[in-house]
Structures are given as C-alpha cells and as structure tokens.
A and B are shown apart, each in its own frame.
Chain A
Amino acid sequence: MTTFLIIAVIVLIFLVIVQIAKASEYVSVLKGEKVAQQQSNKINAFLMIAFLVLGLIGVYICNEMYYKDTLFPQGSASVQGEKVDSMFMITTAVTGIVFLITQILLFVFAYKYQEKENRKVFYFPHNTTMEYIWTGIPAIALTVLVAIGLRNWFEFTSEAPKNAIVVEITGKQFGWIYRYGGKDGILGKKYYKNIDEAGSNQLGQIWDDEANHDDVVTTQAMYIVKDRPAKLVINSRDVIHDVGLPHFRMKMDAVPGIPTTLWFTPKYTTKEMKERTKNPNFQYEISCDQMCGNGHYSMKGLVEVVTQAEYDAWLAKQKPNYYAAFPDKDPSNAKQPADTAAKSATAQVVLAKKTKI
C-alpha cells in the first residue's frame, strides 16, 4: 500500500512540475521570447556562481565529515605505505590547486560573461604563447609526479629483503589459505591436480617433495612480524582473486597458474593498532579486491601482526599439514600404541573421499 502511495506522490509531483514548466513556456511567449530568455539567463548565471560557492563549501564539509573515516588519520601500518600516503598528499596538493583554479575560472567566467545586450565579444581564436604555457606547466608538474611515483613503484616491486618472512597465500572461492615453509623455511612443491580437500591437501602439495613435510597450512590468519619484512607469495586455486591489504597500502592479484609476490614491512602489531585506532575490534583485514563470484564480498582474510617472540611461539604450536594428510606419520600419534587405529582412520578418509566423487 505504502509503495503505491509513494509512487502516486511521485507521479503527482512530476505532473505538477510538468504543468508549471508548460505554463512558464506560455508565459514566456506572452512576455516575448527575448525578455524571457534574458530572465532565465540571469537566473542560470546566478545559479552558476551559487553552485561554485556552495560546491566549494560542500567539498570542505565533505572533507571534515569523512577524512576521519579514511585510513590516513591512523597512518600507514607499513613502512612502504608511508610513501604511498606522502605521494597521495603531494598529488592532492598539485591536483587540488588545478581543481580550484579551473573550477573557479569556469563558473566565474560563466557568471561574469553572461549575455548582456551591448557586450562585444572578444574575437580571440588562438594565442600560441598561452597554449605553450598550459602545455608546459602540466608537463613539468607531471614529470615531478611521475618521478616520485616511479621511484616508489620500483622500490615496492623490488626483490624482498633476505630476512623477510615468506608466507604463501592462496585464494579460493571464497576464502584464503596460508602456508609457511616450516622449519626449513622452504615452501614445498605443489601441483593443482593433487588438491584433495577430503584428504587434507587443499593446496595440492606434492608429498614426495620433502620440503613439504614441515610446511604449515592454515586458514585462520596470516601471522607476520612487526618491523620484519613479510613477503607474500600469492596464488589462486580457481579464479582471479586479489590480496587487498588497505592498512599496509598493498594489493596484488592472485592469478591461477601465475604466482605473484608482494612485500612490505609492518610497523605496528595488531594490538598496537587497536590502541592507535581506539577500536578494540580492530583487525588487519584482507579484502578480496577482484570480482571472484557471488561470495566475493565475504572473502575475508586476517593478518595478525605480532612480535618475533609471539610469532615463534605461534609457529611452534602449528602442526605441519603433512601430519593431517598422513596422521600415521605424526610423531604425536605414533607414540600411541593404537597405531593401527590411526591407519584405519586414514583409510576411512580415503573411502569417504571416493564416495563423495
């Protein structure tokens, strides 16, 4: 009922506007087209200047209201991100000046040179000097911006430092899988046809490769260490995803078949960030930034930035994925006398997987 009421009201408003518009056309015919045109010209010229003034006030208010909601007040959570932020500020300053000058000129000219009966227009088809000036100044400004940008770009995309923690992050519909190299620090080889979710091998690790035997696989969160570079090796299992790390100002696509990397140095632990943002629920979230299907919006990952000691303690607690796939190889299981029970459990898993397919 209310829906129909709303529609009826809208239609009514439209009818009124159309009727007024029609009436004003008749009035303008009666008044004489010239007079009517002069009047509407004045009104529109006034609106031009009003739009400029109110618009600039609006820009200011918008900034007052929403700047605090951006990531800038809390600062970048990575060393590299600071450069992104300073680049942003420089670019805003440069473009802001251009924005103000051009918008003000546009609307002021529109207002100032509104039609007047006796105004003679200035026949001014071209002026080479002026054109050189406004070709040259933008060129110089852009050269500066490009120079700053490329210096940062090459730094961000350079090889990660040697002491970096290497984490493999793999996107899938719709979640993230993290893998650590374990004790040897080497990520074992994998092949996508080995993926076997029921058999605890969601990445397709090749078990013949011994480097895999100590690799830790988790879907809970990505643990990295404050002040120590973290290098992400990024994969996808199905469609293109994107590892979006807004707090660290980093982002990289996860492309099936083509591993990518990115690295950064976190500056604050998650705990410190909770204090900085005064938000006890603060989390470093990983957002998927590439359309990946109907669950795209829910593809959330977590980064836990911790101290080196906390990291070591966490890693020590993690069981290699090898033992999940082969519980009988797990030393903690082997101690139990009922070794055969574990084996039969494995067999059951295999059976369950087969029936599923």
Chain B
Amino acid sequence: MSTEAVLHANVGTAGAQDVHHAHDAHHGDHHHHESFISKYVFSMDHKMIAKQFLITGMVWAVLGGLMSVLFRLQLGYPDSTFPILEDLLGKWAKGGRISAEAYYALVTTHGTVLVFFVLTAGLSGTFSNFLIPLQVGARDMASPFMNMLSYWFFFTASVIMLSSIFVETGPFSGGWTAYPPLSALGDASPGSKTGMDLWLVSMALFVVSSLLGGLNYIATVLNMRTKGMSMTRLPLTIWAFFFTAVLGVLSFPVLFSGFILLIFDRHFGTSFYLSDIFVASTQQALPNEGGSAILYQHLFWFLGHPEVYIILLPAMGMASEILSTNARKPIFGYMAMVASLFAIAVLAFLVWAHHMFVTGLNPFLGSIFVLLTLLIAIPSAIKVFNWLTTLWRGNIRFTPGMLFAIGFVSLFISGGLTGIFLGNSALDIHLHDTYFVIAHFHIVMGVASMFGMFAGVYHWYPKMYGRYMNNTLAYIHFWVTLVGAYLIFWPMHYQGLAGMPRRYYDYSVWESFKHFTELNRFISTVAMVVFAVQFLFLINFFYSIWKGRKVTTQNPWGATTLEWTTPINPGHGNWPGEIPEVHRWAYDYGKDGVEYIPQTQKIGENESAHH
C-alpha cells in the first residue's frame, strides 16, 4: 500500500526530523508495562481518555433519553396511569402518574445532561481527544496529565449530578437555564433547595473539566503539529475542534462567574439577581433589593449561545471530513469552510441576547442582536452549499458514518432555517418559548449534533477498537433515527405556531392548546421507538469491541489523514517509529485520477497544482 510505503520512507529519513520528534519516539517506548489502573482508569493516553468520555457520554445519553421518554409519557398520555412508574420512581409517580415536580425535574435534568454531559463532554471530549493528536501528528496532548484531570473532573461532576436525583427534595427543576430568582429560592420550588446546590457544584466542576480540556486542545493544535502540517493543511475536523475549544475557554468562565454570584445570592445574602420578591409559600418579603434577574441571563447566555456552537462545530468538522472521504472528493472550498467556522465562532459571542428579546431589553440593543444573529445564516449557508458541492459528481460510499453525515446536513438545514424565524425579534415575540423553539433547537443542535457524533463513532470506530461495527444494525439505526427525528420534531413547529408554551406539565385546562392531544400521543410514541432503536447502536458498539469483524488494513476507508498511518491498534505514542511528515493538504481525493493521496505522500513531479 502506498500509505505504508510513505510511512517507511519517512522513517528512513529520520535524520531530517527535529529533535522533538526523536525524543517523543523514545518516550513512546516507555509505556509497555502499564497496570490496569494506569491503562484503563487514570490513563494519560488521549485515545483512552477519549473512550472514557465517549462511554460516560453514552451512559448520560441513555439516562437523559430515558428521562425524555418519561416526560413524553406524561405529555402523550396525560390521563393514563402506568403502575410500573410508581414501582420505579416511588413518590415521584404516585398512582402511576408522574407528578408535576418530577416532570420538571426530568425536563431540567434532561436538558442539562444532554447539553453539557453528552453533547459537550461526550462529543468534544471524545473526538477532540481522539482525533487532535492523531490528525495533527502528535504523540499525545500537550499535557496528558491535564487531559486526565479533565476527564476525572467531568466524572466527578457526573457523580454529583447523578446524586442530586436522589436527594429528598428532588433534583433541580427550574429548567436547564436555571434562571434566578426561581433557581435562587428554595421556597419558590423544592428543586431549588439541595438539588440546586448539587447542580451548581456539578456544573462548576464541569466548567473546570471543560477548561482543562479546552486549553489542552488549543495548545496541542497550535504547538504539536508534525513537520509540514501547516495550519492550512489541517483537516477540517481539527479546525472545528480548535474553534470549539477557543469558544469554550472564552465563554465558560463567564458562566462560572454567573454561577458564583448565584451561589452568593443563595447562601450569603447578596442581591446580585434578587430584588422586590415576596415569597407566597412563606408569606414573606425578602430583604434583597436592587439586584437584576436579567444580569444572570446575560452571563448565562454569554456562554449559552457559544455553547450551541461548542456542540455544533465538532459535528460540522466531522461531517466535512466524513463527507469528503466517502464521496472520494475533496471538500469543496476548504478555505471558505475554515473562514465560515471562524465567522461562526466570532459571531457566536455577539448574539447571546437573541435569547432575551422578550425580557424587556432595550429595543435598540435588540435590533443589533437581530442583525448579528441573522448574519450567522451567511457562514451557515456557505457550509451547506459547500457540503452539497462536495457530494456533486463524487463517487459516494454509504458507510454508516457517511449516512449519518448526510443526515447531519439535512437536519442542519431544517433546523438552521427555523433559526431565521427566531432570530428576527419581531417574529420571535410570538414564537419565543413555544414548541417552535423546541423543534428548532432539537433539530439543529440536539439531533444534528447527535448525528455528527454517531457519524464520528461509526467512522473512527476501526481506529478506536481495531474492529468494525455491524453495518446492518447501523443502517437500521440510521434510517429509523432519521425518520423518527423528523416525525418527532417537525409537527412540533405547528404546535409552536399555535402558541403552545414549552415546559407545561399538562395542557388539558387550556382551551388554546388542548386540541393537540393526539399529536402529543403520536410524538411520544415515536420518541419511544427512536429511544429503543438507540439500544441497537449500544449493542452494536459494545458487542463489536470484542466480537466485531477485525480490521485488516491500516486504512480501511482509503482516507488521506494521518490517523490512518498509525498501526491498526496504535499504542500510547501513536506511531511506533517516527511521526510521519506531511506534504500536502488533507483532501487530495480523485486528484489526477488517483483515488486518494495520503497527506504523507510527497508532491509528485508531474502532479497538477497542489493546495
């Protein structure tokens, strides 16, 4: 194979490599005698940490998904009772019907864990960790130790979040955005008592985890690229992970500060967010005056909006890579793709108040945020058209990864376009906090990013475990999930257009919203089917780790990037010999009639103009 030939050629020219790499090669040899603990638990190997993030993310995805099934049960079958729920949930589902308290706790925890634990840690934590060193040509992260800490902070955050479900007053139940005063006052909602403290501690640890990870990703991308790997030769995955990390590092601290102030308001009598409050349950006026509940929303959404792109960009990067590899065609408009990622990353910081159009903010300020918000549609449009052009006149292989990448593009279009409705403040007034919003962000951020994650797992599974996942199961998983996702969320737009508010436990007393009973039932039923089908993926994933078809070639997808120049089961240090040198960009597919040219191959003498 040409790849191996190139690899050997590079090893032969070791003298040309710099000292740094030679040292790394030597360093890589030390890791043969690893104990179980240092290999699987407190591992400093980025590949193992990636798997830890992935599997923890999967656990949370199952829990978060199960929660959505439970509250969809209430929405779809508000008049029915399910005795099994009382067996499982006890006082939270007396008589087999989920209580309002439990419903809001489920909604809140579902949102929190899906956004942060699954689609941030599970997505970025997995693939940034796994792919950055492999694709830039590094032995490991800049700081493997910090990387390990990053996972264990996340793990601790997970344990604390999980424990909050079991406290007597219940987990936090004020919505994942945790707006004060509701989140600040235990007397206003039982979930805002101990549950909220645990929620805040868990989230604070999560921010630490995210920062440790993010700094590492940035340092690795900037400093540890192999020889010849200039920034403009990076695969788009790496660009996406890089911008994701920058977004996280700049915005998570703001969220953290918001949380600190909230902790102060909760426990130390400050009035950052509190003013003019009379608590009905205790018949007492609180002493706090002069605070602004809106301040929290500014701090929250200053992270909250970039967070959307922290979730979405990795999926975009992976979709770009997988589409190009499996269309056997270079990604169209590489520089435009990088520029649009950059534009999205910059704009992500300048649009947060579009979540706050109806808080009574200054209309002039609102108008600026309308303008900046709708600007995001331009780089998004560039990306979509470039993906489409990448497929055009390609030679497409429908691997499971490719299917999910195509599904990602479809969902990104559908969900992105509804953003144009919501970003326009005058129209947002009507749609704000209705099911239209739920449909919008679930499609564009939730399901689309989930598709990016699935695409990544299927595509890089051979590199992770040296085996393939079962294709038939993957195809069933893909088609049911794609159809199901549209069946669930598409009709929700119509509910939103009827003004149906989100986060309602029961609509039966509302003359304006009660006519959707049947549709609610339909959506809930489909949601359960889609949830069940995810177990096919889980079975496939874990079964294939041990029993999957073995990978027999180094480069099963015929890809150009560096991770496929490592051995089938790379050890700690990734390359047994020297790190290969890079001579070209990552997308030479179909050039001069050659199916693909790995990045490690030197530019041929008669080759047409190169990138």
Contact = CB atoms under 8 A, between A and B. Distances in A.
Interface of A: 3, 10, 14, 17-18, 20-22, 24-25, 28-29, 37, 40-41, 43-45, 47-48, 51, 55, 58-59, 62-63, 66-67, 69-72, 81, 83-84, 87-88, 91-92, 94-95, 98-99, 102-103, 105-107, 109-110, 113-116, 119-127, 130-131, 134-135, 138-139, 142, 145-146, 149-150, 152-154, 156-158, 172-173, 192-193, 195, 197, 204, 234, 237-240, 242, 244, 246-247, 249-253, 255-258, 260-261, 279, 281-283, 285, 287-298, 300, 356-357
B144 interface: no
Contact of A70 (B181, B285, B334, B494): B494
B174 interface: yes
B68 interface: no
A122 B497 contact: no
A174 to B, nearest CB: 9
Contacts of A172: 278, 280
B578 to A, nearest CB: 29
Scoring A99, A126, A192 by chain B CB atoms within 10 A of each residue's CB, the highest score goes to A126
10 contacts: A18-B543, A113-B396, A115-B398, A130-B389, A134-B382, A173-B188, A195-B278, A257-B291, A282-B511, A294-B191
Interface string B173-193: 111000111100100111100
A106 B430 contact: no
A284 B218 CA distance: 54
B370 A106 contact: no
Contacts of A291: 104, 174-175, 179, 182, 503
B358 A240 contact: no
B375 A40 contact: no
Given A62-B494, A123-B330, A145 B417 contact: no
A125 B330 contact: yes
Contacts of B430: 81, 84, 88, 246, 249-251
B370 A149 contact: yes
A45 to B, nearest CB: 7
A192 B284 CA distance: 10
A257 B285 contact: no
A21 B473 contact: yes
A123 B588 CA distance: 8
B182 A293 contact: yes
B293 interface: yes
Contacts of B277: 192, 237-239, 256-257
B38 interface: no
Given A149-B425, A292-B182, A41 B395 contact: no
A267 to B, nearest CB: 16
Interface residues of B, number: 136
B392 interface: yes
Interface stretch (B17-25, B222-230, B407-415): B407-415
B434 interface: yes
B398 A14 contact: no
A120 B174 CA distance: 56
Contacts of B539: 14, 18
B395 A116 contact: yes
Contact of B336 (A40, A126, A244, A356): A126
A356 B388 contact: no
B45 to A, nearest CB: 30
Interface of B: 83-84, 100-101, 104, 173-175, 179-182, 185, 188-191, 274-281, 283, 285, 289-294, 327-336, 358-360, 363, 366-367, 370-371, 374-375, 377-378, 381-382, 384-389, 391-398, 403, 406, 409-410, 413-414, 417-418, 420-421, 424-427, 429-430, 432-434, 470-473, 475-476, 479, 482-483, 486-487, 490-491, 494-495, 497-499, 501, 503-507, 509-513, 515-516, 519, 532, 535-536, 539-540, 543, 549, 587, 589-593, 611
The 5 lowest CB-CB distance pairs between A and B, nearest first, are A246-B499, A257-B275, A260-B360, A121-B590, A157-B363
Given A44-B398, A95-B420, A121-B590, A70 B498 contact: yes
A70 B277 CA distance: 36
Contact of A95 (B385, B417, B540, B589): B417
B370 A153 contact: yes
Contacts of A250: 429-430
B101 A88 contact: no
Given A102-B385, A124-B389, A193-B285, 13 more contacts: A59-B490, A95-B418, A99-B413, A109-B391, A110-B406, A122-B393, A138-B378, A250-B429, A251-B433, A257-B290, A258-B275, A287-B499, A287-B501
B324 to A, nearest CB: 10
B413 A91 contact: no
Contact of A240 (B182, B290, B387, B471): B182
B590 A122 contact: yes
Contacts of B413: 98-99, 102-103, 106
B511 A22 contact: no
Contacts of B432: 251, 289
